[in-house]
């Protein structure tokens, strides 16, 4: 019937793709959609549409990554469109018409969709939160682009577990589980219609880390589409990424210890050992929890030189920088955007040089025949003060010259020529004071460059 309406929603499930804009015909209906972001249902006129998804490139240019013609959105239907795959291996659209059947009173509806091109066929079990694995009934297999369900279940507390081999072949044990949600309380969502989408995991896992060296990291995480938006469910082994930087001039080498705040025991987890000024401890995975962190002089680590509290959330990344505040050591904790994107480099600049004062920062594409100077263009950052940071800026993969001048002058304090940033790379550049350790060039200002 003319004028009849349909509903459509979109999920970005491509782990190495940039943010995207979504078009129906030539009308932009969603903008700046990031990986794992799922929209609410959008009402549209029923009919056939061309669906186009455009990736946002550094500088704001866009390029189509999905262009599907004549997708029918029938009257009185709700359709999910999931963008999946990888940039290198190809991106596909997975359209799904959702069930319109009435949900019985006291129940909720669950469907599971496999949208991770990196994961094999899987079997899925939905059990009570305390049920042993031997009690689980696994459904499957479900392959990439496929789905299980929907099924109607009572609104209650559940646990989702996923395995990657046929459960009929032999008994299933905890060692077979490749994803475990832990308890999920769905007792208060009677009537909910949930599409639970498995996507490729890009989040840190303590599996394989120093905290659980014999455990495997989960290859997937879950995104729950509820009609109003999306939310994440991570594997129970999901931790946090942590990078530690010594950028406090004049402070000798340090050891860093952490105590888990929520336990009565003093864990004394050592995060780094003998970290000297101008260096960093590479990114490590730690359990996601609240810590009391103590920084001690490596020469005598019987007592903290200073400490700080850190609440590290599951799936997040952090860089903790030891710096000076009013000439005393303190901590600056930055949140990281660590996901690798195939079409760009992510670069963050931090002013970590108290002796330099306010600075201007210039970034130019490298030109070996005509090297850029401060007079070659406008600064990217003006009057950039100590302790400031840019957040992550997307740059086209290339070679760049970075010049740091005293604010309002052409006096170059730090010069980094031909800095190559690669596609998929994530970089943090921290301007620092001279090392002053007697090594060649140690009297010059410099940069602590962290490349992931």
CA distance 73 to 43: 11
- Same domain for 289 and 327, yes or no, is yes
Q: Tell me, yes or no, if the pTM score tops 0.85.
A: yes
318 and 376 both lie in a single domain: no
Which CATH number characterizes residue 311's domain? Answer: 2.60.40.2630
For residues 114 and 91, membership in a common domain is answered with no
Mean predicted lDDT score pLDDT of the chain: 95
Statement: residue 167 has pLDDT above 60: yes
Shared-domain flag, residues 394 and 442: yes
Number of domains in the chain: 4
| Distance separating alpha carbons of residues 309 and 291, to the nearest angstrom | 6
Of 71, 97, 123, the one marking the end of a domain is 97
Domain-located, residue 195: yes
| CATH number, domain containing residue 344 | 2.60.40
Residue ending a domain, choose from 233, 256, 275: 233
Compute the average pLDDT of residues 32-43.
98
Bond prior to 153 in cis (omega within 30° of 0)? no
Last residue of a domain, one of 233, 260, 291: 233
DSSP single-letter state for residue 424 = T
How far apart CA 221 and CA 217 sit, in angstroms, is 11
pLDDT at residue 65 in the model: 95
pLDDT value, residue 32: 97
* Residues in contact with 102: Cβ distance below 8 Å, sequence separation at least 6, in sequence order: none
Angle formed at CA 42 by CA 126 and CA 45, multiple of 5 degrees: 125
**Distance between CA atoms of 253 and 269, rounded to whole angstroms?**
18
Separation between Cα atoms, residue 239 and residue 34, nearest integer Å:
21
State which residues form the domain around 40.
Answer: 5-97
pLDDT in tens, 405-448: 999 999 999 999 999 999 999 999 999 999 988 788 789 999 99
102 lies in a domain? no
Whether 320 and 345 share a structural domain? no
How many CB atoms lie under 10 A from the CB of residue 268?
9
How many residues are given for the chain? 452
> What is the residue-wise DSSP string for 220-266?
EEEEEE-SS-EEEE--TTBEEEEEEEE--TT---EEEEEEETTSSS-
pLDDT tens-place string over residues 110-119:
999 999 999 9
Q: Are residues 170 and 255 in the same domain?
A: no
73-132: pLDDT as tens digits: 999 999 999 999 999 999 999 999 999 999 999 999 999 999 999 999 999 999 999 999
Confidence of residue 1 (pLDDT cuts 50, 70, 90): very low
Residues 347 and 434 in one domain: yes
- Predicted confidence band of residue 170 (pLDDT cuts 50, 70, 90): confident
**Would you say residue 2 has pLDDT above 60?**
no
Residues 249 and 210 in one domain: no
Instruction: Decide if pLDDT at 297 tops 90.
Output: yes
Instruction: Give residue-wise pLDDT tens across range 355-398.
Output: 999 999 999 999 999 999 999 999 999 999 999 999 999 999 99
Considering the domain architecture, whether residues 150 and 203 belong to the same structural domain is answered as yes
Same domain, 343 and 452: yes
CB atoms within 10 A of CB 77: 17
- Domain check: are 112 and 226 in the same one? yes
Residue recorded with tokens 């600064």: 379
Q: Are residues 229 and 242 in the same domain?
A: no
Integer angstrom CA distances of residue 197 from 100, 131, 363, 368: 19, 23, 40, 48
């Amino acid at each position: 019937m003319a004028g009849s309406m349909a509903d459509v929603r979109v999920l970005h499930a491509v782990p190495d793709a940039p943010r995207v804009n979504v078009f129906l015909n030539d009308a932009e209906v969603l903008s700046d959609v990031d990986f794992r972001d799922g929209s609410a249902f959008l009402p549209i006129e029923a009919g056939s549409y061309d669906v186009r998804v455009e990736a946002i490139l550094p500088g704001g240019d866009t390029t189509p990554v999905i262009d599907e013609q004549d997708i029918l959105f029938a009257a009185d239907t709700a359709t999910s469109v999931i963008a999946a795959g990888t940039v290198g291996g190809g991106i596909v659209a997975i359209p799904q018409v959702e069930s319109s059947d009435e949900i019985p009173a006291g129940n909720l509806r669950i469907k599971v969709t496999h949208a991770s091109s990196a994961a094999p066929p899987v079997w899925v079990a939905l059990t009570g939160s305390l049920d042993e694995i031997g009690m689980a009934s696994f459904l499957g297999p479900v392959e990439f682009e496929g789905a299980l369900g929907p099924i109607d279940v009572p609104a209650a507390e559940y646990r989702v577990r996923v395995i990657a081999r046929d459960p009929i072949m032999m008994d299933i044990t905890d060692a077979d589980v490749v994803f475990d949600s832990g308890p999920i309380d769905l007792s208060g969502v009677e009537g909910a219609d949930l599409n639970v989408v498995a996507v490729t995991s890009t989040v840190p896992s303590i599996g394989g880390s120093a905290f659980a060296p014999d455990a495997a990291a989960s290859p997937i995480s879950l995104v729950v589409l509820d009609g109003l938006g999306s939310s994440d469910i991570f594997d129970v082994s999901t931790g946090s990424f942590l990078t530690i930087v010594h950028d406090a001039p004049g402070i000798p080498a340090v050891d860093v210890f952490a105590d888990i705040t929520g336990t009565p025991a003093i864990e004394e987890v050592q995060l780094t050992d003998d970290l000297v000024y101008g260096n960093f401890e590479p990114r490590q995975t730690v359990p996601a929890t609240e810590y009391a962190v103590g920084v001690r002089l490596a020469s005598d680590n019987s007592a903290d030189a200073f400490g700080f509290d850190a609440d590290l959330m599951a799936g997040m990344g952090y860089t903790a920088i030891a710096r000076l505040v009013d000439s005393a050591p303190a901590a600056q904790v930055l949140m990281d955007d660590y996901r690798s994107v195939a079409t760009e480099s992510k670069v963050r600049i931090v002013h970590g040089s108290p002796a330099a004062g306010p600075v201007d920062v210039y970034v130019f594409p490298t030109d070996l025949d005509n090297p850029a100077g401060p007079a070659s263009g406008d600064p990217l950052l003006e009057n950039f003060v100590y302790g400031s940071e840019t957040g992550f800026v997307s740059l086209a993969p290339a070679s760049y010259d970075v010049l740091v001048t005293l604010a309002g002058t052409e006096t170059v304090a730090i010069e980094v020529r031909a800095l190559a940033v690669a596609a998929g790379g994530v970089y943090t550049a921290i301007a620092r004071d001279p090392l002053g350790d007697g090594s060649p060039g140690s009297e010059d200002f410099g940069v602590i460059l962290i490349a992931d």
